[in-house]
Amino acid sequence: MTNFHISFGTEVADALRDGRPVVALESTIVSHGLPRPDNLLVARQIEQAVRDAGAVPATIGMVAGELIVGLDDAQLTRLATVDGVSKLSVRDLAVAAAAGADGATTVAATSAVAAAAGIDVFATGGLGGVHREAAQTFDESADLITLARTPIAVICAGVKSILDVGATLERLETLGVSVVGYRTRRFPGFYLTDAGFDLDWSVESPEQVADVLLARKRQGVHHGGLVVANPLPTDEQLDPALHDRTLAAGLAMLAAEGVTGKAVTPFLLAHFHSATEGASLAVNVRIILRNADLAARVAVAAAARRA
């Protein structure tokens, strides 16, 4: 596992030392995935959802080149409001640290840092994955390869429907990343309850996820992530017809404006938020809050099994 020079928030450091439940949270959704000013409010709500379910939130990010696990409110505010916060995947962490940069960590970078910090549960919205057109562009999120290497449970609503969901599931299989549905055998598509693909496994409770984590330890699995796919209830998803229209327009704009690389995901998310007049934002927030709650319950159950 990678060794990072990490500064811990005091509450997170205390909780880890005492073996109390901690949930890692990413900062890219705050800096690049949600529009201002909602992003800061939502970032605080996510932390509160973790607390309400009995765990300590550890939002991860970089401030002035310092990698922080458990950003305080001033640091969170800075990453949510200052211009020029970089989007940091794993490969960017050292370069950004040396540059003294402010940066928001993606699922990949957050997973790697969290695991190095001794945190085994992480809540986010949706994973990155294989982009449409990847056969030509080779655009596959580093989230996938990082999860192949990193022992962490990621609670998410599957992968965004802006991606090639089927190809992403195939890559997760190849990379040896475990995928279980939470109370479902259908893989969710972030905004959509069901992205159209079956899953081999499902779990019914936070305790069952903790059982999987314990079984992995007993089998000596020290690499490789566990994706817990937690779908929105159908009555809370984005209207599928609105979703399909918005996605088609967004993909056409990508091509017309020549947007590529790491700008693709923030561009499409921003397009959804404006084109649906906030409907996708409301859905996005519900997804994250539900995942934060479930992740905290998993962390509580996992801590009980350690005790």
The binding site consists of: 87, 107, 139, 141-143
- Residue 211 CA to residue 214 CA, distance in Å, equals 5
> Considering the rule CB under 6 A, would residue 111 count as an interface residue with ligand PSU?
no
Residue 86: contacted member of ligand PSU, Mn ion, none (CB under 5 to 8 Å, by partner type): none
Using CB under 6 A as the binding criterion, the count of chain residues that bind ligand PSU stands at 19
Nearest residue relative to ligand PSU (C-beta)? 33
Neighbours of 191 (CB within 10 A): 29
Q: Has 277 been annotated as catalytic?
A: no
- Residue 90 CA to residue 72 CA, distance in Å, equals 22
Select from 24-32, 165-173, 215-223, 247-255 the region that touches ligand PSU (CB under 6 A): 24-32
Residue 149: contacted member of ligand PSU, Mn ion, none (CB under 5 to 8 Å, by partner type): none
Select from 4-12, 27-35, 193-201, 231-239 the region that touches ligand PSU (CB under 6 A): 27-35
Which member of 269, 296, 298, 300 binds ligand PSU (CB under 6 A)?
269
Query: Least Å distance between CB 262 and Mn ion?
Result: 6
Residue 269: contacted member of ligand PSU, Mn ion, none (CB under 5 to 8 Å, by partner type): ligand PSU
> Considering the rule CB under 6 A, would residue 143 count as an interface residue with ligand PSU?
yes
User: Can you say whether the dihedral through the CA atoms of 197, 235, 206, 68 is positive or negative?
Assistant: positive
Residues sharing a CB contact under 8 Å with residue 125, sequence separation 6 or more, in sequence order: 29, 33, 156, 157, 190, 284, 287, 288, 291
Which of the following is catalytic: 26, 47, 140, 262? 26
> Considering the rule CB under 5 A, would residue 139 count as an interface residue with Mn ion?
yes
> Considering the rule CB under 6 A, would residue 141 count as an interface residue with ligand PSU?
yes
> Considering the rule CB under 5 A, would residue 120 count as an interface residue with Mn ion?
no
Select from 12-20, 64-72, 124-132, 167-175 the region that touches ligand PSU (CB under 6 A): 124-132
Which of the following is catalytic: 47, 140, 160, 262? 160
Query: Least Å distance between CB 91 and Mn ion?
Result: 12
Q: How many CA atoms lie within 13 A of 210 on its CB side?
A: 18
Q: Has 236 been annotated as catalytic?
A: no
Residues 156-185 touching ligand PSU, rule: CB under 6 A, are 160
> Considering the rule CB under 6 A, would residue 120 count as an interface residue with ligand PSU?
no
> Considering the rule CB under 6 A, would residue 106 count as an interface residue with ligand PSU?
yes
Contact residues toward Mn ion (CB under 5 A) are 139
Provide the annotated active-site residues: 26, 160
Contact residues toward ligand PSU (CB under 6 A) are 26, 28-29, 32-33, 106-108, 125-126, 128, 141-143, 160, 262, 265, 269, 284
